[in-house]
Structure 1
Amino acid sequence: MRRFALLLLATASLGASPALAQTAPALSVDTLKSVDRELSSDAYEGRAPTTPAETKTVAYIVQRFRAAGLKPGNPADRTGGGWTQDVPMVEIKATDVQPFTFTGGKSAVTMAYGTEMVAATYRVAPTISVRNSPVVFVGYGITAPEKGWDDYAGVDVRGKTVVILVNDPDWQTMTRDGPFEGRAMTWYGRWPYKYENAAKHGAAAAIIVHDTEPAAYPWAVVNSSWTGAKYELDEPGGHLDQSQVIGWMQLAKAHELFAAAGQDFDRLQAAAKVKGFKAVPLGLTLSTGFTNAIRKSLSHNVIGVLPGTSTPGDTVLYSAHWDHLGHCAPVNGDGICNGALDNASGVAGLVALAEAHAHAGPAKRSIAFLAVTAEEQGLLGSAYYADHPIYPLARTVGGVNMDVLNAIGRARDFTITGAGKSEIEDMVKPLLAAQSRTISPESNPERGGYYRSDHFSFAKLGVPMLDGGSGQDLVVGGVAAGHAAAEDYVAHRYHKPQDEYDPKWDWSGAVEDLTVYYQLGRKLADTPGLWPNWYATAEFRGVRDRDHPELRAGS
């Protein structure tokens, strides 16, 4: 197999230090091409979990991990030869969804499924029925004691329906200033948090008001994502502690609803942005319901390991999701969403890094390579691993998650998703400087990217993970070319059949990014006693300090 010592080649003209050049990985562009081309071919049918295509996908990744020189990563796995972790899943498809019907106001308000509202449930139950549930507007639906903010203060919503605004209260602040980091969405602004918090307060139904700018995507995305089958982890209890109904309503229908209640939506929305906001009962009731088709099945994470030599109980983690959308709405007769960039490219990077680390030989700590399932269904594979870790999270040093590699050429900059959270970022800066690259801020921090990929499953349980990659300032074409390429991908290929492998792709930018990932992982793996922490202001600091009290003294 042809290999490239990229750092020696690429950084020779970039002024890399001799010390860094000596740690250059052997990263194979052939590997990146062959893995991406194979996994994104029509033969893999878009790699949907729990389908026959999963069996083929998992077998191929195991084959490549074994050939790379890894060892099976899960000793408890008997059926998969030690290479897999079972992920029990349940598919829930709502059928015969009744409209949202609100009564008790100046006039009844009805919302049609798909065009005006969407509804689903986390509950593994054959029928869902909410009848005459009192409706309460709870602003942004946030309970953040560390910020002195509680939208549920003084109101009992048990058995009631809560209407919630999307994003954070300060999302219109164009800087990072504000109680919720301004323009950068926090976990409190993400829709999964809002449903989770509503359930903790006993709400029977939780409905988010869709608004395109703070949501960061149009209603069409909500409609397509919420009107098909939903996957969840098949956990004991069947998620019966969750709200019966979760869903969204169109902004125009929210205005109509509040007017029927004798309220001004715009006025209450403005009030909800101010600390001390009190929830407002609307004097209306909601009725809705649907039946569920339920199918239980097993999916699989794939894991290989390069065992450590002196402290093998400590683990450095690389992750990428192997799944995509499977068969989808046809475009020009093509109905397979191949997911070549999202995320066959990330798996290709995982294999290339495994080869490079194995070629360099074992490090002092163990290095694990995890290809997770069901990211597209809500980070389910990584969430299951984080809750049932093969290598204890308290002894997981940190790592890198890869979700879509750069296939458009070298970039002068690098963007860290959710920057300002962990000391991992400080370790990356000199590696980028050696490539003469700068760090650029996220172009769309309001989209909450940090909370939308698999690293978040580990981060919220205390493990610092880097999620970052090439920025938009391309060596050839500059920012204009990089921005145009990004916009083209989102508009024409993202989650569409057009996300297909292209033999003309330029992998040089991906290899530079992978070089950084390699050097970061090797530094973590070859430095026993090094435990990067979260910054004091990060929401995940408490868990890390609990697992490593020795880190507190240096805080």
Structure 2
Amino acid sequence: MRTITLATLCLLLSACGDKPQSASTAPEADINRIKGHMAFLADDLLEGRDTGSRGHEIAAKYVASQFQQLGLRPAGTDGYMQRVPFIQAFLEQNSPSFTLTTAAGSASLAYPKDYTTSPSTLYAHAQVSGELVFVGYGIEAPRLNHNDYANIDVAGKIVVVLTGKPASFPSEEGAHFASGSEKARYAAEHGAIGMLTISTPANEKRRPYQSRLNYIHTPRVRWLTPDGQPHGAEPALLNSAYLSIPAAQKLFADAPRSLDDIYAELELDGTPQGFALNARVDFSKDSQFKRISSPNVAAILPGTDPELKNEYVIYSAHTDHIGLAKTVEKDNINNGAMDNATGTSVLLETARLMSEGQPPKRSVLFLAVTGEEKGLLGADYFAHYPTVSKSALVANVNLDMPVLTFEASDIIAFGAEHSSLKGIVEQAAEKVGLTLGQDPWPAEAIFTRSDHYPFVKQGIPAVFVVPGMTAKDPDVDGEAKWQEFLAKHYHKPSDELNASFNWQAAKTFTQVNLMIGQTLANTAARPVWNEGDFFGDTFAK
């Protein structure tokens, strides 16, 4: 086990003017402080910081102690802590039963060979019986002139939906419409009582059905509302499952069209229309429940302007990771150094720099969230139940898994193009000699996949900032460095603190985040969504 050295942090107050500091006058990030934070957060002692674990509790206490040493104001519901209640559901692996009835008779599908199913967070015994109706992708998107439920009656029936989205959908908007939670909501709103998702040949290439079997023992986690209900669960949908392609073909045995015909239409970028499958399903499973809690950690650096101090810029980073790996290897601890001890350490150093530098006009809220790896849960809870007025939250800057193995000449701000934040990020990058790079993976819709997105869904402009792909050293292939981490170390025990870290890159990345925060905190006008932007039009309140 590595030896942990904790640096002692001091709160320094300076009397400065109101203008944001330039890069030359701003306090500089301290590499040793960043190293010290990471050495603690990625240590074996914390056992991978799984949500609800003792290791994550220690990480949260550490972050709170750092906030306290900086003199930041507690912004939790209990000091610096905002404890989030969760329900964990575990599937009883011998319980799933699935019977398909067609004109040829009844036949059983085998779990998990033919289908997978997640535990229910609502029902100890989940049972659904009903007729099957195919509804294409199962999406209702008026803005894109798409409605898979048009002229189809699914009330009291089980819908069968294709995974994914139409090829014509924009990537980020499409990711929103194609999410499992949105598809479940559409189905429930139209009166469905169950949902079966079927794979496609294109999806099978990206994520083979066989790979899903690695997660059948993973518990389902949701946060609980004040009345104890699992948030995001659809009570009307009594059961759901994901079918392999061979199993899915059996559903279409007596249908007007075969599944192969549907797949052929997808190859031509078509959007199949729905129809009754002339089949029914009887499907049940059993789940066991456990209630846990895990804290978000929140602190405020108060602003100085008589009016703007009542508004808040939020920095967020998740402290949780995925805990212990199920492996026979000696090292089974997923330390999560890059994911996301880096982001948390940069957040802590940014908090120090802002507290030591020129006081901001707006207040700045530093938020270390739990449950990101379970589905952005801690951030979603805070976005629903913020410890300050929701209307006072003006922008979110999210720090998640900055890959710090080389010095980049640019930064990437996922989602910047949706709001006035793009100009602010560009200005900040320029002050430290960087440029704003383009989204390197537009098809992956990264903007919808980290802790900033719950804030977006509350109408708050947000960016997800990471170092870019272009290396300062022309002999270094930055994109290859990113791909190397993702292929070899992401969500593996090998994501640990080692010699591959480039500490100058960590310093530069901290410096640019400081500049972003200072600009946001001192600009008179609050950030706004771009006119006609989908996310602003959909979520801004």
User: What TM bracket, shorter-length normalisation?
Assistant: 0.7 to 0.9
Q: 1:122 to 1:313 in 2, by over 3 A?
A: farther
Paired AA for residue 334 in structure 2:
C
1:282, distance to aligned residue in structure 2 (A): 0.9
Map 1:56-95 to 2 at 5 A: 56-74=58-76, 76-77=77-78, 82-95=79-92
> Which is worse superposed, 317-326 or 34-43?
34-43
CA distance in 2, matches of 1:477, 1:329: 40
Q: 1:534 to 1:440 in 2, by over 3 A?
A: same
Map 1:410-425 to 2 at 5 A: 410-418=407-415, 420-425=417-422
Q: Is the 8 A contact 1:107 1:260 kept in 2?
A: no
Paired AA for residue 96 in structure 2:
Q
1:539, distance to aligned residue in structure 2 (A): 2.5
1:161 corresponds to: 158
Instruction: Give the alignment partner of residue 210 of structure 1, picking from 195, 199, 208.
Output: 199
1:200 corresponds to: 189
Deviations 1:170-204 (A, max 9, x none): 1xxxxxxx4x2159843112233222322333322
1:320, distance to aligned residue in structure 2 (A): 0.7
1:551 corresponds to: none
2:212 corresponds to: 222
Paired AA for residue 526 in structure 1:
N
Gaps of 5+ in 1: 4-17, 171-177, 547-555
1:12 corresponds to: none
> Which is worse superposed, 359-368 or 202-211?
202-211
CA distance in 2, matches of 1:329, 1:395: 43
> Which is worse superposed, 274-283 or 466-475?
274-283
CA distance in 1, matches of 2:510, 2:302: 21
Instruction: Give the alignment partner of residue 335 of structure 2, picking from 314, 338, 354.
Output: 338
CA distance in 1, matches of 2:441, 2:173: 8
Instruction: Give the alignment partner of residue 483 of structure 2, picking from 487, 493, 509.
Output: 487
Paired AA for residue 413 in structure 1:
D
Deviations 1:323-376 (A, max 9, x none): 111122125222222111111111111111111111114311110110111111
Map 1:396-435 to 2 at 5 A: 396-418=393-415, 420-435=417-432
Q: 1:292 to 1:443 in 2, by over 3 A?
A: same
CA distance in 2, matches of 1:336, 1:167: 33
Instruction: Give the alignment partner of residue 150 of structure 1, picking from 144, 147, 150.
Output: 147
CA distance in 2, matches of 1:419, 1:251: 38
Q: 1:291 to 1:183 in 2, by over 3 A?
A: closer
> Which is worse superposed, 139-148 or 272-281?
272-281
1:293, distance to aligned residue in structure 2 (A): 0.8
> Which is worse superposed, 339-348 or 106-115?
106-115
Q: Is the 8 A contact 1:166 1:190 kept in 2?
A: no
The answer to whether residue 373 in structure 2 is matched with residue 376 in structure 1 is yes
2:523 corresponds to: 527
Q: 1:301 to 1:264 in 2, by over 3 A?
A: same
Map 1:73-152 to 2 at 5 A: 73-74=75-76, 76-77=77-78, 82-95=79-92, 96-106=94-104, 110-131=108-129, 133-152=130-149
> Which is worse superposed, 205-214 or 519-528?
205-214
CA distance in 1, matches of 2:81, 2:108: 47
Deviations 1:54-85 (A, max 9, x none): 321221111122223322113x42xxxx1011
1:318 corresponds to: 315
Paired AA for residue 517 in structure 1:
N
Q: Is the 8 A contact 2:334 2:493 kept in 1?
A: yes
> The residue matched to 2:326 in structure 1 has which SS?
strand
Q: Is the 8 A contact 1:100 1:117 kept in 2?
A: no
1:283, distance to aligned residue in structure 2 (A): 1.1
Deviations 1:193-227 (A, max 9, x none): 22232233332222322347548544355333443
> The residue matched to 1:312 in structure 2 has which SS?
helix
1:293 corresponds to: 288
Q: 1:86 to 1:19 in 2, by over 3 A?
A: closer
CA distance in 2, matches of 1:101, 1:532: 53
The answer to whether residue 536 in structure 2 is matched with residue 541 in structure 1 is yes
Q: 1:181 to 1:409 in 2, by over 3 A?
A: same
CA distance in 2, matches of 1:270, 1:188: 23
How many residue pairs match? The answer is 516
CA distance in 2, matches of 1:510, 1:189: 35
Cα-Cα RMSD: 2.7
Aligned residues with identical type, % of pairs: 29
CA distance in 1, matches of 2:122, 2:404: 41
TM-score calculated relative to the size of structure 2: 0.88
> Which is worse superposed, 404-413 or 245-254?
245-254
Q: Is the 8 A contact 2:437 2:468 kept in 1?
A: yes
Q: Is the 8 A contact 1:142 1:151 kept in 2?
A: yes
Deviations 1:123-148 (A, max 9, x none): 422111122x2111211111112222
Q: 1:258 to 1:56 in 2, by over 3 A?
A: same
Paired AA for residue 439 in structure 2:
E
> The residue matched to 1:475 in structure 2 has which SS?
coil
1:23, distance to aligned residue in structure 2 (A): 5.1
Q: Is the 8 A contact 1:139 1:165 kept in 2?
A: yes
> The residue matched to 1:522 in structure 2 has which SS?
helix
Q: 1:544 to 1:43 in 2, by over 3 A?
A: same
Q: Is the 8 A contact 1:97 1:119 kept in 2?
A: no
Q: 1:20 to 1:314 in 2, by over 3 A?
A: same
CA distance in 2, matches of 1:68, 1:244: 49
1:514 corresponds to: 510
> The residue matched to 1:426 in structure 2 has which SS?
helix
Q: 1:346 to 1:105 in 2, by over 3 A?
A: farther
